[in-house]
Amino acid sequence: MKISRINRVAGTFLALIVTAGAAVSNNNPDGKNRNNSPQETCVNSISGLSEYQKDRIVAMETQNQKVMNDLRERQHSASGKAQREEIKKQIDKQIENHGNTIKTVLSADQQRQYIQFQSNGGNPNPQGQRQGAGKGSGRGSGSGGGRGNGNKCRM
């Protein structure tokens, strides 16, 4: 009877590990982030875009995502450090080229918004990113026999 319980616990533990491993190793080939929601694009963060601009940017983003996925896969499977560094240079060049092609579709004000979007790492509200991360004042009431400030251990 004890052995069957151990087997059940071990089986459950193994299933948990396999499930967690599969979730973590997701390569995101479909352009979705870890929460399985689409990644934020600049289309939603730049004001005053026409339908033509939106369509062009979405097409450019899709093409860029395909190229970047291919480059990342090549970088991951590269055998030597020099080869990986060369592919890293290609990735950097692709990022620069993509940003420049996006800017060709935008007005001067929209370009400033796009640059702001890029500098925030794709987060349209960078302050919201840290929301809830504070430590608080520490003035709560607790039950415990902790030491006060006067009893600090000095060495």
38 neighbors 32 (Cβ within 8 angstroms)? yes
Instruction: Between 12 and 28, name the one with better pLDDT.
Output: 12
pLDDT in tens, 69-124: 999 999 999 889 999 999 999 999 999 999 999 999 999 998 898 888 888 776 55
Residue range of the domain that includes 95: 50-119
Tokens of 120: 């925030």
Overall domain count for the chain: 1
Q: What is the pLDDT of residue 118?
A: 83
Q: Is residue 79 part of a domain?
A: yes
Element housing 88 (H / E): helix 81-105
Q: What whole-number distance in Å separates Cα of residue 124 and Cα of residue 72?
A: 25
Percent of the chain with pLDDT over 70: 59
Nearest-Å Rg of the Cα atoms of the chain is 25
Instruction: Between 130 and 9, name the one with better pLDDT.
Output: 9
Instruction: Between 50 and 45, name the one with better pLDDT.
Output: 50
Q: What whole-number distance in Å separates Cα of residue 105 and Cα of residue 103?
A: 5
Q: Is residue 152 part of a domain?
A: no
Q: What whole-number distance in Å separates Cα of residue 147 and Cα of residue 145?
A: 7
Q: Is residue 105 part of a domain?
A: yes
Total Cβ atoms within 10 A of residue 61:
17
> pTM of the predicted model, to two decimals?
0.54
Phi, psi of 16 (to 5 degrees): -65, -45
For residue 57, count CB atoms less than 10 angstroms from its CB and return exposed for 0-12, middle for 13-18, buried for 19 or more.
buried
Q: Is residue 109 part of a domain?
A: yes
Average pLDDT over residues 30-50: 65
